[in-house]
Amino acid sequence: MGAMNALISASDLAGELTGERPPVLLDVRWQLSTATANGEPFDGRTEYLAGHIPGAVFVDLDRELASAPGERGRHPLPDLGVFGAAMRRAGVSAGRPVVVYDGGLGWGAARAWWLLRWTGHPDVRVLDGGLPAWEGPLETSEPSPPEGDFQPVPAASGLLDADGAAALARSGVLLDARAGERYRGEVEPIDRVGGHIPGAVSAPTTENVGPDGRFRPAEELAARFKELGVAADTPVGVYCGSGVSGAHEVLALAVAGIPAALYVGSWSEWSSDPSRPVATGPDPQ
């Protein structure tokens, strides 16, 4: 999946929403920290109800795009029955395009994009820049779309487990999408131990976007990933802390025309098992 159908601009979305075949809109506002700038707990639904793109349905990342945290990480794959029901409730059907957006960081939207693509939806795009890029009206009422017909069917490829990630770090390129200081093991604010999967390459997902939160042009992204060792035929995988920002890097790779697999369990799963090796410092090792 290349650049042409992974992202959509706010102006193009505005046009499609008034066209003959408007996309289903999903609002996936989420953030890793539960506290907002004013100290109040962050709640995506509250943000959604305060104003969203007309027709958008709220999707709860923690409950509908992941299952409960545990041995498989902080955001394991959702139960496909739960995920499918949530998508149908939102009006998602196999024959209708879907556009997902979040509050601007892009991580929540990318997780929804990745899950829908991995489970077989043929036409999913992310609003580039998220809600801050939208210049049209907002609404506060919740829509009640007709039930969709989407039935998630996982792909045979595109998903890595811990062993697969470890092997790919040796046979291809495994990108670590977290901040560099977490990769190097200098800090670890969330998980049991700091560091990275041996052989993984540091590639913070924040470097895939510009100051406005929009993705860098496809050719710039392709050049960045080439510098990180990704050639045309290189098998590529991505992990992060819990499979959310990693999905954003898979999206950036898609914009550059590079298919990549996601290790959903990511560092939160890897580091929970003391028997798994941990590398620290700036080098992949």
**CB count in 10 Å sphere of residue 281:** 12
Task: Please answer whether residues 138 and 166 qualify as being in contact, where contact means their C-beta atoms are separated by less than 8 angstroms.
Answer: no
Buried b (16+ CB within 10 A) or exposed e, 99-120: bbbbbbbbbbbbbbbbbbbbbe
Closest CA to 47 of 103, 100, 90: 103
Report residue 10 as tokens.
Answer: 């706010």
Active site residue 240: yes
Q: Which of 173, 240, 256, 260 is catalytic?
A: 240
Rounded distance, CA 271 to CA 72, Å? 10
Instruction: Fill in the DSSP letter of residue 58.
Output: E
Closest CA to 248 of 88, 129, 121, 122: 129
Q: Catalytic site residues?
A: 240
